[in-house]
Amino acid sequence: MEIIITQEEKGIVAKLNGRLDTVAAQQISDAVAPVLENAAGNIVLDCEDMPFISSSGLRIFLKIRKEVAAQGGTMKVKNVNPDVMQVFKMTKLDEIFDIVD
């Protein structure tokens, strides 16, 4: 899993490249920790190149959302492929996350 974090005009974008499995979930947690310290703004998780998400990955997404919301920020998930969207729908997390194209 490769994580590219950039600061853009509208907030922070984390581009996730690769499978978000148990090992990669820890990588993401470590990579976004500094970002979450100042998560009062907008964070976008770009999943265009993320073909798979495990339950560990879902937990990381929930953790990020919780931290951002606690600081008054927003989190969006964008460019979700059909396989990953199916996981979000099966777990009903599509009702919790702000998923955009």
Residue 39 has pLDDT above 80, yes or no: no
2-11, 30-39, 67-76, 82-91: segment of lowest average pLDDT: 30-39
Closest CA to 64 of 39, 94, 27: 39
Give mean pLDDT, residues 22-47: 86
Q: DSSP secondary-structure letter at 97? A: S
Per the CB < 8 A criterion, the answer to whether 62 and 97 are in contact is no
| C-beta of residue 66 within 8 angstroms of C-beta of residue 35 | no
Give the pTM: 0.92
Domains of the chain: 2-100 (3.30.750.24)
**For the chain, what percent of residues have pLDDT higher than 90?**
72
Query: Which amino acid, 7?
Result: Q
Of 94, 95, 96, 99, residue with least CA distance to 80 = 99
Conformation bin of residue 72: beta by default, left when phi > 0, alpha when psi is -120 to 50 = left
Provide the mean pLDDT of the chain.
92
| Span 47-57, pLDDT tens digits | 999 999 999 99
Give the pLDDT mean for 1-11. Answer: 90
Of 98 and 9, more confident: 98
What is the C-alpha separation between 54 and 5, in angstroms, rounded?
Answer: 21
